[in-house]
Structure 1
Amino acid sequence: MLEGKKIATRESYGNALAEFGKVYPELVVLDADLTAATKTSIFKKAYPDRHFDCGIAECNMADIAAGLATTGKIPFISSFAMFVAGRAFEQIRNSIGYPHLNVKIGATHAGITVGEDGASHQCNEDISLMRSIPGMVVMCPSDDIEAKASVKAAIEYEGPVYIRFGRAPVPVINDKSEYEFKMGKGNILKEGTDVTIIATGICVCQALEAAMMLKGDGIDAKVINMHTVKPLDEELVIESAKTTKKIVTIEEHSIIGGLGSAVCDVLSTTLPTKVLKIGINDVFGESGSASALIHKYGLDAEGIYSKVKVFLRDGF
């Protein structure tokens, strides 16, 4: 099991906003009555005149941000993924995506690790929704370091960006000196020859643990951290498929329309490869602790290990 410091990426998001607020005076933050949960309260404390609580009115918040973007501001809108990506989808599509405005969407509490709040709050469809909007960048950082890097990249990018953050604390895995974050470019965390595991978000650390377990069985797994789902690093996906000829994708999201679908879109047209998609299998979540749900839905290292073993045994 990966040891060391753990921090929720939603907290990293709040810290990053406050940090970059010093550098970018045009940065403003909007929230929908969830400042404590989304951690935008950290920015609010530092820059109260640049933080706007829009109340439980996510659709209005998106439209206000669109207006602010036309004045030269760099607005971040924040709420739970279910509310900002789900409830405000039409406004994000028509008011932000269609005119390609410089609005950033910080979506916290994504996936089933919202836990006890249950299916109504567990958004497993947001990546699919945001991928479908033309010109929208979609990022899903794996830890504290990457969450801060994704916020900085979003600020520097001209156009709409969706960043997915989690509620539960996760290990810091990108604290290596050679780590470099580039929007649209995946990071190879481990080389391998037998199978390529492509993971995003909080599943990256679990993928690394699963690869260690597979190594004990003589299986050499390549592990890729695909922090940007759109635009996808197509070159890395194709190169890895050529090398290992077997691909596994892992995401805390529905297997419909997320990372797995993006990878299959690329391979089906360029290099047909058999792919195992590990994620939420077309079902709603349920109430329970984050760790219990991750285990039940097979997204922990043990579940990934078992599924990859079966895939390699029966898939070819």
Structure 2
Amino acid sequence: MEELTPREAAGKALADLGDLRKDVVVVVADTGETTRARFFAERHPDRFFNVGIAEQAMAAISAGLAYAGFMPYALTFAEFMLRAWEIIRNSVARLNLPVRFIGTHAGFSDPYDGPSHQALEDIALFRVLPNFTVIAPADSCETYRAVMATAEVRGPVYVRVGRDFHIPATCDLYKVFEVGKGYVAADGSDVAIMTTGQMLGYAIDAAHILREKGISAAVLHFPTIKPLDLTLLSRYARAVKAIVTVEEHMVHGGFGSAVAEALANIGPKPLAMMGVKTFGRTAKSPEELYRYFGLTPENIAARAEELISLAR
């Protein structure tokens, strides 16, 4: 699975789900090739529907299919998915229908097309919707497992997927993806680096940098942002001196906000939220954007070290 890109892993998972379940259908907004939903279309052409560049229609048709007893998966770029948010709110979330939305090319994974194509608000917009489960896999291995696991979720789901670039991190972390479960990528007692999605690999690298400086850093990965694994979060929040959240998303309303909301009920803890505070930009690679927005392992380690010094 590591040899696949995230969008290819999502496409493969859909094709395999189609083999296992006859109620699975796929709806795309003229994005069958770019999302790799064509993998499903090649095996199950009678259950594949392209509605054209009409994301609102994609959402409405998917709602109708779900209401009729099917399990639709709707795919387009994560940024374009936001065009259909009102339809998703009113026709899917309010009725608690089992539509699975997969937004590809999320975050900085599409650097070449610039800020118009870089979804940095999608977690916030889907997290706020009642009944929704929100998932952000770290890499291709986790993307495949997550998409397969969505078939067992009741109600609507949003899965945030990258394009081609990923930092392999989860293939050996665990073998079975469980929706709503967080994972300990590294144990530690001084600071907890909590992350979701693509940033897991960089968080692990940051923990290595901190260990070389004598700082014990835990890395907690939360591929499911909603519902958040509050048991895991609470255990480490009580054990460490400080928490740093890292995400490839706006800091407002995203993963860091979800952690902060949980901490409000658990108890105060020094917290730094690392992410983005403005729109993206055109670049040659995702790595260039991570550097520009200060989301490198070195930046994460430095912020964690600074927070620990303040917490002492």
Q: TM-score per shorter chain, which class?
A: over 0.9
| Aligned ranges 1:103-114 → 2 under 5 Å | 103-114=99-110
Kindly state the Cα deviation for residue 257 of structure 1 after the two structures are TM-superposed. 0.5
Contact residue 30 and residue 51 of structure 2 kept, 8 A: yes
**1:91-138 alpha-carbon deviations (Å, 9 max, x no partner):** 000000000001000000111231011111111000000011001000
Amino acid at match of 1:275: L
TM-score by length of 2: 0.96
Kindly state the Cα deviation for residue 264 of structure 1 after the two structures are TM-superposed. 0.3
Give the structure 1 partner of residue 280 of structure 2: 285
The correspondence for 1:47, drawn from 44, 58, 67, is: 44
Kindly state the Cα deviation for residue 6 of structure 1 after the two structures are TM-superposed. 5.3
Are residues 200 and 72 of structure 1, via their aligned partners in 2, closer, same or farther at CA, if it must alter by over 3 Å?
same
Measured in 2, the distance between the counterparts of 1:167 and 1:233 equals: 26
Number of aligned residue pairs: give it: 311
Percent identity, please: 39
Secondary structure in 1 aligned to 2:138? coil
The correspondence for 2:69, drawn from 67, 72, 76, is: 72
Contact residue 2 and residue 171 of structure 2 kept, 8 A: no
| Aligned ranges 1:66-215 → 2 under 5 Å | 66-84=63-81, 86-176=82-172, 178-215=174-211
Contact residue 107 and residue 163 of structure 1 kept, 8 A: yes
Secondary structure in 1 aligned to 2:247? strand
Matched, 1:276 2:272: yes
TM-score by length of 1: 0.95
Give the structure 2 partner of residue 255 of structure 1: 251
Kindly state the Cα deviation for residue 172 of structure 1 after the two structures are TM-superposed. 2.8
Kindly state the Cα deviation for residue 171 of structure 1 after the two structures are TM-superposed. 3.2
Unaligned 5+ segments in structure 1 are none
Give the structure 2 partner of residue 238 of structure 1: 234
Unaligned 5+ segments in structure 2 are none
Contact residue 54 and residue 60 of structure 1 kept, 8 A: yes
Amino acid at match of 2:180: G
Kindly state the Cα deviation for residue 180 of structure 1 after the two structures are TM-superposed. 3.2
Contact residue 113 and residue 293 of structure 1 kept, 8 A: no
The correspondence for 2:55, drawn from 53, 58, 78, is: 58
Kindly state the Cα deviation for residue 177 of structure 1 after the two structures are TM-superposed. 7.4
